[in-house]
């Protein structure tokens, strides 16, 4: 079984929590895109964990975790994350963590460049998490990246490569932004310090995954951000710099020859968005604060308060289509339990036009939400484990969402803990 678990919305849908739950049936979990710029929060019987780079399967002792070639890897951050988890009793060795030799390394100058550019943009900033992700993906496509596999080459080869890249980079940094040049020796000692630790985990993960697939192992592909942050299909330019969608999963994992057997979309029962960019369904004031508190909507990586809104039909249906989801896991339904009426954004208004498909450009940036309200259930549902335990209004809401996004909702999550979910008939 080759399953992709992806986000339908703007991210923070609870993907980590669903991967943690569903990975029980999987032998391998692979991250296939993004870097350490987002956080997955996982709560299970071993504690509460925030993962930035490591696949969520790392919390299961018998699961092998892979960071694929589509990911960009901040090696200092990775070493820190591994040490932190080890401190919490999680065992991490080259047997349960494998890093693609083709994944590109995030260097300190990528982080600097990210900060310099956001500062230059000032009020027009993108809301970058300043982890160097856009600059490193830019360099990857300029063919100026250093890959994890390069750490296994001879020192002379790697030095030569690094020197050539720094020479080019300094043209931009020193002459463009007018700051001090990058010093080769600093970058070399950085690569040595952290590269020497991570290189034990580096291998041809595509080969490993192909062999595992032949042996009949179950592989799960884990996305880092939602469909609306995809570089091609998201709210460009307020997107991430990589492909977050399920069809990219085999490519970013290193197995472009394999086809997914199953695509599970994680969709939130309401909307949230971190940082800048168009977010039509956004609500403000007391109602927003109430929802933010109820859902504990503060960024896992940055602690930033998330923007919140009602469920957005246009964005979610579009997200389901971009992902090609076979089934959906609906998360955080319990958060809506305090609402007498549940707001749902059913259309966008642009001037005197009513839009019922997710737009791009000006229409997206200037649209206003058209809201309708569904009856709430006003009952704690976090203890429900079967469909029949849910109040009728909650079942009606689930059925309604299923219809408007045109995809079966198979799982409903009613709390952050591993067992707080319902499998739909």
Answer yes or no whether residue 327 interacts with ligand GDP by CB under 6 A. Answer: no
Q: Nearest to residue 274, comparing CAs of 261, 292, 247, 251?
A: 292
List Cβ neighbours of 192 (8 Å cut-off, separation of 6 or more): none
To the question of whether residue 37 is assigned a binding role by annotation, the answer is: yes
Q: Does 415 bind ligand GDP (CB under 6 A)?
A: yes
Cβ–Cβ under 8 Å, residues 64 and 27: yes
Annotated binding-site residue? 306: yes
Binding-site size, ligand GDP (CB under 6 A): 22
Q: Are 247 and 255 in contact (CB under 8 A)?
A: no
Residue of 23, 65, 96, 331 that binds ligand GDP (CB under 6 A): 331
Tokens representing 246?
Answer: 């399920």
Is 319 marked as binding a ligand? no
291 near ligand GDP, judged by CB under 6 A: no
Options 300, 313, 407, 422; binder of ligand GDP; rule CB under 6 A: 300
Min dist. Cβ of residue 15 to ligand GDP (A): 4
- CA atoms lying within 13 Å on the CB side of residue 341: 7
- Give catalytic status of residue 12 as yes or no: yes
Q: Which stretch binds ligand GDP (CB under 6 A): 170-178, 214-222, 355-363, 410-418?
A: 410-418
Interface stretch with ligand GDP, choices 159-167, 180-188, 243-251, 414-422 (CB under 6 A): 414-422
Distance CA 99, CA 201 (A): 6
- Spell out the residues 6+ positions from residue 368 whose beta carbon is closer than 8 angstroms to its own: 280, 348, 349, 350
Residue 131 interacts with ligand GDP (CB under 6 A)? no
Residue 413 binding ligand GDP, by CB under 6 A: yes
In this chain, which of 5, 6, 10, 13 binds ligand GDP, going by CB under 6 A? 13
Residue 32 CB-half CA count within 13 A: 30
CB 72 within 8 A of CB 105: yes
Query: Is the CB of 212 or the CB of 301 nearer to ligand GDP?
Result: 301
Residue 14 interacts with ligand GDP (CB under 6 A)?
yes
Establish if 414 lies at the interface with ligand GDP (CB under 6 A).
Answer: yes
Q: Any alpha helices (H) in 285-342, and if so which ranges?
A: 285-295, 313-323
Residue 335 to residues 72, 98, 293, 413, Cα–Cα distance (Å) = 33, 36, 9, 10
Triad 136, 141, 145: Cα angle to 5°: 50
- Considering beta carbons, is residue 359 or 416 the nearer one to ligand GDP? 416
Is 77 marked active-site? no
Secondary structure, 3-state, 261-287? CEEEEEEECCEEECCCCCCCCECCHHH
Shortest distance, position 38 Cβ to ligand GDP, whole Å: 6
Residue of 270, 370, 274 lying closest to 310 (CA atoms): 270
Strand order in the sheet with 327-331: 202-203, 97-100, 64-67, 28-31, 219-226, 2-7, 262-268, 327-331, 408-413, 421-423
Q: Return the number of the residue (165 or 384) whose C-beta is nearest ligand GDP.
A: 384
Considering only 2, 4, 5, 17, the residue that binds ligand GDP (CB under 6 A) is 17
- SS3 at position 149: helix
User: Which of these segments, 107-115, 233-241, 280-288, 327-335, binds ligand GDP (CB under 6 A)?
Assistant: 327-335
Q: Which stretch binds ligand GDP (CB under 6 A): 15-23, 83-91, 166-174, 229-237?
A: 15-23
* Candidate ranges 11-19, 114-122, 127-135, 157-165; the one touching ligand GDP (CB under 6 A): 11-19
CA distance 256 to 247: 10
What gap in Å lies between CA 337 and CA 415, rounded to an integer?
A: 12
* In the complex, minimum distance from the CB of residue 46 to ligand GDP, in angstroms, rounded to a whole number: 14
Work out whether 265 is an interface residue with ligand GDP (CB under 6 A).
no
Note whether 252 binds ligand GDP by CB under 6 A: no
Applying the rule CB under 6 A, the residues between 40 and 69 that interact with ligand GDP are: 40-41, 43
According to the annotation, is 45 in a ligand binding site?
no
Cβ–Cβ < 8 Å for 311, 270: yes
Catalytic residue, from 20, 40, 74, 230: name it: 40
Q: Which two tokens stand for residue 421?
A: 């979910």
Catalytic residues: 12, 40
Binding-site entries for Mg(2+): 12, 39
Binding residues: 11-17, 37-41, 129, 143, 300-306, 332-334, 413-415
**Binding site members for IMP:** 12-15, 37-40, 129, 143, 304
Which spans of this chain sit near ligand GDP (rule: CB under 6 A)? 7, 11-17, 38-41, 43, 300, 331-332, 334-335, 413-416
């Amino acid at each position: 079984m080759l399953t992709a678990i992806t986000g339908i919305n703007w991210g923070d849908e609870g993907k980590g929590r669903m991967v943690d739950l569903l990975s029980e049936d999987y032998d391998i979990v692979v991250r296939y895109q993004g870097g350490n710029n987002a956080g997955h929060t996982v709560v299970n019987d071993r504690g509460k964990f925030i993962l930035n780079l490591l696949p969520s399967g790392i919390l299961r002792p018998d699961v092998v975790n892979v960071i694929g070639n589509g990911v960009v890897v901040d090696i200092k951050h990775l070493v820190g994350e591994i040490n932190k988890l080890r401190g919490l009793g999680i065992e991490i060795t080259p047997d349960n963590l494998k890093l693609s030799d083709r994944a590109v390394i995030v260097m300190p100058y990528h982080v600097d460049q990210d900060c310099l550019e956001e500062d230059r943009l000032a009020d027009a900033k993108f809301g970058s998490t300043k982890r160097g992700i856009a600059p490193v993906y830019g360099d990857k496509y300029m063919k100026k990246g250093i890959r994890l596999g390069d750490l296994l080459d001879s020192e002379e080869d790697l030095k030569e490569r690094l020197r050539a890249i720094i020479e080019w980079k300094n043209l931009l940094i020193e002459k463009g932004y007018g700051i001090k040049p990058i010093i080769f020796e600093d970058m070399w000692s950085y690569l040595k310090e952290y590269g020497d630790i991570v290189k034990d985990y580096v291998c041809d993960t595509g080969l490993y995954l192909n062999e595992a697939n032949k042996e009949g192992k179950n592989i799960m592909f884990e996305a880092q951000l939602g469909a609306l942050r995809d570089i091609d299909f998201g709210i460009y330019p307020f997107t991430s710099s990589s492909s977050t969608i399920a069809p990219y999963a085999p490519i970013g994992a290193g197995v472009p020859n394999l086809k997914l057997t199953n695509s599970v979309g994680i969709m939130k029962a309401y909307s949230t968005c971190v940082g800048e960019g168009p977010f039509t369904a956004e609500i403000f004031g007391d109602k927003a604060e109430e929802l933010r508190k109820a859902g504990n909507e503060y960024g896992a990586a940055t602690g930033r308060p998330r923007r919140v809104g009602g469920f957005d039909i246009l964005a979610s249906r579009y997200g389901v289509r971009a992902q090609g989801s076979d089934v959906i896991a609906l998360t955080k339904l319990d958060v809506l339990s305090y609402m007498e009426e549940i707001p749902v954004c059913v259309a966008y208004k642009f001037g005197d036009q009513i839009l019922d498909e997710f737009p791009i450009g000006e229409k997206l940036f200037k649209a206003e939400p058209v809201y309708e309200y569904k009856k709430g259930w006003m009952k704690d549902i976090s203890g429900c484990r079967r469909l029949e335990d849910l109040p009728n209004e909650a079942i009606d809401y689930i059925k309604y969402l299923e219809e408007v996004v045109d995809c079966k909702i198979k799982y409903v999550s009613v709390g952050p803990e591993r067992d707080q979910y319902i499998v739909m008939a």
